[in-house]
Amino acid sequence: MATSTPMPSMSALNTGNDKPLQGNMLWFVAILLSCANFIAVLDMTIANVSVSSIAGNLGVTTSQGTWVITSYAVAEAITVPLTGWLAARFGAVRVFCTAMACFGICSAMCGFANSLAFLVVARVCQGLSGGPMMPLTQTLLLRIFPREKAMAANGLWAMTTLTAPVIGPILGGYICDNFHWSWIFFINVPIALVCSWLAWKLLKRFERGLVRSPIDVIGLVLMIVWIGAFQIMLDEGKDLDWFSSNYIVALAIIAAVGFVAFMIWELGEKHPVVNLSVFRHRGYSVCVFTISLAFGGYFAANVITPLWLQNFMNYTPTWSGETTAWSGVSAFLVAPLAAYWARKTDPRRLIFCGLLWLGLVTFARCFLNTDASYWWVALPILLMGFGSPFFFVPLIGLALLNVNEDETASAAGLMTFLRTLSGAFATSLVNTSWEDKINYNHAELAGLVDRGGEYLRQLTDSGLSTETARGMINNVVTNQSAMLATNQVMMIVSVCLILSAFSIWLAPREGRKTQSVEK
């Protein structure tokens, strides 16, 4: 097997123009990179509310239309952990600019699609392009910012990461209601193409030495197999009643066997396609565990809320979107403050306080009832937004400061992958659990409500037919069952968030390189 060969860095070719970015130019490039991260994260959620419009326009069922979401998620999940290898082999700046330009072109292809097959292929290409963009924006921000301003860079990145998933469904719904669905993709095109060109002009002198390591073909194939099978299983499991379906069972077996084979191969491979050695840093491993557990809980709460509001509280999609958007508003406002404090104090304290705050606010959401007014619903969501940057901003920074500088791209890619995977897993788990709890609660309440039939007699005496009266009683029972199920899920989310808050104390203090888990 060939050995790795370091290639000359591009900075060596630009010795006359290697001054670091400063002042307004530094922040301009930071905003440029944040815009790239924003559109990549936005496209993970903007299509969710547009499936019905897309399916109707293309003449397919809504179930078939969900492949617009699944195809993007699978493709993105495959390329995110490859970020470190791509950056080492081709250069972080080159990979980022190429991925962003391709993202714009693929977005245009999605907008021009006139069939589901064409749209799915375009979404796959878009996901393959978007995957490396998120972790590489982190890598390049840390590369251009001085170390003492690393938390400020992470704060800017975190604002886009936290607000984009909230804005996505609102923007997607507004576009589909007032324009053609294709515009949810067309809006990416000018941003991606302009930003990719400007980023190349401004950042190419920051390119570093390349490592021409051999391509780990077996590792790459195994990774595609297990990630693809697992992601499809998560996306399709709910609709196919999970393991009662042979298709889901087959996917689970393929994912499990593929994962074990992938781990064995990568740990023994001299030039692995995914650098798993970053987990030897205890601080990084603890931070990844904390962010995966916390993001899963945070994402679960955000997923269940609009479902409950729209299906059982008579909120319109736009109204429920505006309600959940309050967390993005408050997070955007306090993210700079979180970045500032992260430089002044032990980041573990901020992470602990932020996650504990989220856990306690979520716990308060366990006691809502069906008579809750708009602000009884919206206020806890607003308060959660105040806590999210205080765990997200310093946690990202602390994780990346616990790995070697040349491992940043790999570490960022793996962390983004596991965070995204935990969100996907939480979404599938919470949807299934919520529906199961609704059915269970309905069965319990049905045996307790109106045992003597007084309420039924009152309704029929008022002139309603027996069937109509029973339907009204059943609606009340169903709404109460959903309310109880929502509160029960929020209780579980609260426990997860509080546990993740305490787990961060297993990480070392910032700036202290930890001993490897394995020598």
**pLDDT score of 307:** 78
**pLDDT score of 20:** 64
Q: What is the pLDDT of residues 364-420, one digit of tens each?
A: 999 988 888 899 999 999 999 898 888 888 888 888 888 887 788 788 878 888 887
**CA–centroid distance for 518 within its chain:** 30
Do 78 and 221 fall into the same domain? no
Do 326 and 373 fall into the same domain? yes
Does residue 3 sit within a domain? no
State how far the Cα of 98 lies from the Cα of 87, in Å rounded to an integer. Answer: 11
Do 193 and 220 fall into the same domain? no
Does residue 36 sit within a domain? yes
**pLDDT score of 395:** 87
CB 435 within 8 A of CB 422: no
CATH assignment of the domain containing 443: 1.20.1250.20
Do 181 and 289 fall into the same domain? no
Do 166 and 297 fall into the same domain? no
Does residue 313 sit within a domain? yes
**pLDDT score of 6:** 40
Q: Which domain holds residue 236?
A: 216-270
State how far the Cα of 286 lies from the Cα of 275, in Å rounded to an integer. Answer: 17
What DSSP line would sit under 172-184, residue for residue? HHHHHHHS-TTHH
- Residue at a domain's end among 229, 245, 270: 270
Name the percent of the chain in helix, strand, coil, to the closest 5: 80, 0, 20
Does residue 1 sit within a domain? no
- Residue at a domain's end among 227, 251, 270: 270
- Residue at a domain's end among 164, 186, 212: 212
Does residue 229 sit within a domain? yes
CB 371 within 8 A of CB 313: no
Looking at the DSSP assignment, which residues form a beta bridge with residue 360?
none
Does residue 161 sit within a domain? yes
Burial (CB < 10 A; 0-12, 13-18, 19+), residue 61, is exposed
Does residue 8 sit within a domain? no
Instruction: Report the number of distinct structural domains present in the chain.
Output: 3
Q: Residue 417's closest CA among 309, 269, 518, 273?
A: 273
Do 281 and 407 fall into the same domain? yes
**pLDDT score of 516:** 39
pTM above 0.75, yes or no: yes
Do 224 and 290 fall into the same domain? no
Do 57 and 71 fall into the same domain? yes
- Give the list of residues 6+ apart from residue 435 with CB closer than 8 angstroms, or none: 485
Biggest alpha carbon–alpha carbon distance for the chain: 91
Q: Which two tokens stand for residue 166?
A: 């909230």
Using only the alpha carbons of the chain, give its radius of gyration: 24
Do 255 and 304 fall into the same domain? no
Do 240 and 195 fall into the same domain? no
**pLDDT score of 426:** 81
Backbone angles phi, psi at 6, to 5 degrees: -65, 135
**Residue segments in the chain with a per-residue pLDDT below the cut of 50:** 1-17, 512-519
**pLDDT score of 308:** 86
Do 191 and 227 fall into the same domain? no
Sign of CA dihedral 183, 235, 292, 441: positive
Do 157 and 260 fall into the same domain? no
**pLDDT score of 107:** 92
Looking at the DSSP assignment, which residues form a beta bridge with residue 211?
6
